[in-house]
């Protein structure tokens, strides 16, 4: 039994079935992302005007990499162009040209995801340190300090785990429940408790220096202190750069990476960009399937393949359009 209207348009809508289906699906997607954008706007408008880097009470500025985000935007826009060219190549009867454009589109998609993964990793190793006096600084842990800390901490944990394995072996013979082994630490998701477990007295950080982009619009960053200019990293002691600073743990209230639990901003950032990333991944897999496994359908039902590519292209344009709104709202405002 042949399914009707997979190629020819329906008499009631003037569209073939798949095109009707994709427009209905995109309508539901508009409602999904519309709700998220509405939530973002309400959270943003309702947030206090706190200065960066007060990411716990204010709405932070300048904590995302704008150049990388701009490049990723260009990558997605380029993929939108090539997916149209791939569809046009099928309409012209050139499958080889279609395959080339579609492979380029898929490469752009996975490039976008790779760059986004790099951004995520940078956030997982970027920290906000809140002090007991109410102030806060953001930045990365100094490389040599972090390497020494991790080496010492993981060596101690290996020794502890060896003791736990022996104890667990005895507990197993006695019918008792084994104890969990200690996981290795990395430069991601470190907390005050983890430093405290290793009896560290102070931490060394490359503290972010505020710039015009790291304060709310209309305000000016304070002048850099002279003591910061004379530090080892003095060549970076300019707005937007870093300065080395040692902070005593006794003065620290909390240490947290740039993750959803740290601030409302990061919660909505990761929610929206991760959901968008899943859409990019899904679209890339479908487009890749057409590029590498579409030849058989092209030989048997070329018009049907052309319609499928058009439907997938509509979804891809929607994914690109979401990012075009998401980039300025999250990165620039």
- Asked whether residue 211 carries a pLDDT value surpassing 90, the answer given is no
Residue 207, exposed/middle/buried by CB under 10 A (0-12, 13-18, 19+)?
buried
Residue 236's pLDDT is what? 39
Among 249-258, 274-283, 296-305, which is the least confidently predicted range?
A: 296-305
Confidence label for 304 from pLDDT (cuts 50, 70 and 90): confident
Query: How many C-beta atoms surround the C-beta of residue 333 within 10 A?
Result: 11
pLDDT at 265: 87
Looking at the chain, the whole-number percentage of residues with pLDDT higher than 90 is: 58
Q: Which residues contact 267 (CB under 8 A, 6 or more apart)?
A: 260, 261
Q: Rounded to an integer, what distance in angstroms lies between the CA atom of residue 166 and that of residue 184?
A: 19
**pLDDT tens-digit readout, 216-241:** 555 555 554 444 444 444 433 455 57
The domain limits of the chain are 26-126+262-332, 128-257
Q: What is the mean pLDDT of residues 48-71?
A: 73
When pLDDT is averaged across residues 258-279 and rounded to a whole number, the result is 92
Contact 243, 237 (CB under 8 A): yes
Average pLDDT of span 113-135: 91
Q: In what order do the strands lie in the sheet with 136-141?
A: 242-248, 202-208, 136-141, 127-131, 252-257
The reported pTM is: 0.84
CATH number assigned to the domain covering 26-126+262-332: 1.20.120.80
Confidence check: pLDDT of 115 > 70:
yes
**What is the reported pLDDT for 219?**
55
pLDDT band at residue 333 using 50, 70 and 90 as cut-offs: confident
Tokens of 292: 């590498």
């Amino acid at each position: 039994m042949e399914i009707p209207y997979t190629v020819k348009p329906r008499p009631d809508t003037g569209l073939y079935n798949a095109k009707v289906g994709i427009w209905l699906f995109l309508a539901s997607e508009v409602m999904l992302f519309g709700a998220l954008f509405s939530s973002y706007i309400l959270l943003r408008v309702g947030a206090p005007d706190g200065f960066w880097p007060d990411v716990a009470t204010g709405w932070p500025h300048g904590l995302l990499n704008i150049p990388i985000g701009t490049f990723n935007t260009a990558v997605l826009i380029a993929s939108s162009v090539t997916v149209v060219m791939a569809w046009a190549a099928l309409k012209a009867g050139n499958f080889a040209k279609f395959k080339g454009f579609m492979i380029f589109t898929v490469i752009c998609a996975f490039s976008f995801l790779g760059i986004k993964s790099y951004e995520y990793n940078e956030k997982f190793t970027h920290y906000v340190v809140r002090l007991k006096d109410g102030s806060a600084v953001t930045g990365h842990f100094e490389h040599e300090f972090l390497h020494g800390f991790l080496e010492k901490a993981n060596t101690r944990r290996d020794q502890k785990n060896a003791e736990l394995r022996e104890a667990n072996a005895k507990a197993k013979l006695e019918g008792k429940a084994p104890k969990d082994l200690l996981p290795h630490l990395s430069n991601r998701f470190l907390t005050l408790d983890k430093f405290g477990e290793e009896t560290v007295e102070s931490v060394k950080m490359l503290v972010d220096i505020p710039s015009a982009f790291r304060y709310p619009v209309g305000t000016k960053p304070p002048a850099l202190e002279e003591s910061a200019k004379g530090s080892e990293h003095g060549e970076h002691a300019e707005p937007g750069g870093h300065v080395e600073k040692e902070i005593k743990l006794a003065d620290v209230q909390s240490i947290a990476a740039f993750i959803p639990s740290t601030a409302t901003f990061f919660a909505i950032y990761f929610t929206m960009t991760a959901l968008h990333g899943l859409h990019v991944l899904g679209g890339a897999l479908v487009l890749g399937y057409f590029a590498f496994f579409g030849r058989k359908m092209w030989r048997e039902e070329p018009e049907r393949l052309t319609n499928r590519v058009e439907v997938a292209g509509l979804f891809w344009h929607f994914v690109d359009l979401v990012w075009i709104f998401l980039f300025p709202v999250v990165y620039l405002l």
